[in-house]
Structure 1
């Protein structure tokens, strides 16, 4: 495994913020430390639910804009928009994440990954949690854009940069979890998947 390892139990003693910082600083090493400490379903689920909760918070500015487009940002439209976002992030997103992790592992198996779905789930859920600072930061920037529309192109570029950084982080974590030596190959596959999904979404949206 690349970039070192950690003593068993070391991960459990660290706080959430420290774990996020270490994941960004060296994602493969952070994942290796998790594996050395022993992967558990409860830890993976805790990462996932915390990530979804924070992503729900990051989605609230979007909920406010949706409510404002309907009938102003007060009253029932706002309640409905927030409820919809809460359902999406707290109920639907965790199920989608489990399904996505399973699909990712099945693809990794084609390239020689060992059996076992838990490492892929751990890599994805930990990457989701590590990506929440980007989501929260982008939410704040989008609030600023509402006041200063001229900043929209800059915020858009920052969003793409954040997405690229997250793809790198997740790819490195997944490469370590699935036993792949080269992170670059995982990144290449991830980029192909992202481009493919984006193309499909664009085609579907264009046909509606």
Structure 2
């Protein structure tokens, strides 16, 4: 199934989609590709906000985009790997049976599956700017991301 259909299906039933991903077997390359796709979408989602900020500050947008590229494509993946490792340790303390690959995939897939809301967040930040609408969309993204992540961890063997 194409990744876009899997993302849409995650909003209807995240555990079924994650079960299907787990059935494909352990493939660290696929997990890294999912993480990098999520980081790439998040980087693209930053463009409207960066353009707005550059325009309002009368600066060139390209250095800001370069910094965002460095942050999302090189630094954020390392942070996600550390976060997945720590969540795996926490799960083991509470009796979870998920492997390291399963905990990484749970986090990475939740991040990619919630990325459409990150794109919406970027559009709101770019066109409307700071305020209630941006906070609402950001909070919605956080709730959906946590829902996907916890559902994936549960499917991986937490509960």
Report the Cα distance in structure 1 between the residues aligned to 2:72 and 2:144, rounded to whole angstroms. 22
Q: Number of paired residues?
A: 159
Aligned pairs for 1:149-188 within 5 A? 152-177=131-156, 179-181=157-159
CA contact (8 A) 1:120 1:174 kept: yes
Gaps of 5+ in 1: 1-13, 182-208
Q: Show the counterpart of 2:28.
A: 41
Q: Show the counterpart of 1:191.
A: none
Residues 78 and 107 (structure 1), Cα distance of their counterparts in 2 relative to 1, 3 Å cut: same
Q: 2:43 aligns with which of 42, 45, 56?
A: 56
CA contact (8 A) 1:127 1:169 kept: yes
Q: Show the counterpart of 1:79.
A: 62
TM-score of the superposed pair, with normalisation by structure 2: 0.91
Residues 62 and 141 (structure 1), Cα distance of their counterparts in 2 relative to 1, 3 Å cut: closer
CA contact (8 A) 2:48 2:127 kept: no
Q: Show the counterpart of 2:79.
A: 96
RMSD: 1.8
Comparing both chains, which one has the higher relative contact order based on Cα–Cα distances under 8 Å and sequence gaps of 6 or more? 2
Runs of 4+ off more than 4 Å: none
- Answer with 1 or 2: which has the greater Rg: 1
Residues 135 and 38 (structure 1), Cα distance of their counterparts in 2 relative to 1, 3 Å cut: same
